[in-house]
Amino acid sequence: MNDPCEEIEYHNLPSNRLEELNSLTFEESENLIILRSDYLNITGDFCAAKLMDYFKRRTDWELENNHYPWIDMTLTQIHEVLIGEYSLNVIRRAISLLEDKGILERRKNPDNGQIKTWQYKLNLDVLDVLLQH
């Protein structure tokens, strides 16, 4: 891939490019901002669709490596993942949209109340149902 931060419309990729993208590990694809048309159709929001893809790839990695679906991230870290494309207010609205649709859950650390970083969990079952419609 030429630019590791390029924006890709997932379903319009040639089959060899799609296979290449799917074969990347999370570490190799962590800096990719991927806009999937099916996620955009679900949310109607570009930022939310890109967050869905990031959380899906990150959740798959977390479950495989840590067996734990919750992802600790600050808004600043999410802003960095999206390479500064969206303001913190837009990111907050996108997260709220994903929560309202039941796609994403958010909580404070249940084991340590002093940690203020939000934890996020992608609801894979909800995502699967939405993708089938």
Q: HEC profile for the chain?
A: CCCCCCEEEHHHCCHHHHHHHHCCCHHHHCCCEEECHHHHHHHCCHHHHHHHHHHHHHHHHHHHHCCCCCEECCHHHHHHHCCCCCCHHHHHHHHHHHHHCCCEEEECCCCCCCCCCCEEEECHHHHHHHHHC
Is this model's pTM higher than 0.85 or not?
no
Residue 79 forms part of a structural domain = yes
The count of domains in the chain is: 1
**Mean pLDDT of all residues in the chain?**
85
pLDDT at 3 over 50: no
Is 105 a residue whose pLDDT tops 90? yes
Say if 2 falls within a structural domain.
no
Give the pLDDT of residue 73: 95
Query: Which domain does 35 fall in, by range?
Result: 7-132
- Residue 5: pLDDT over 50: no
Q: Domain containing 21 — which CATH number?
A: 1.10.10.10
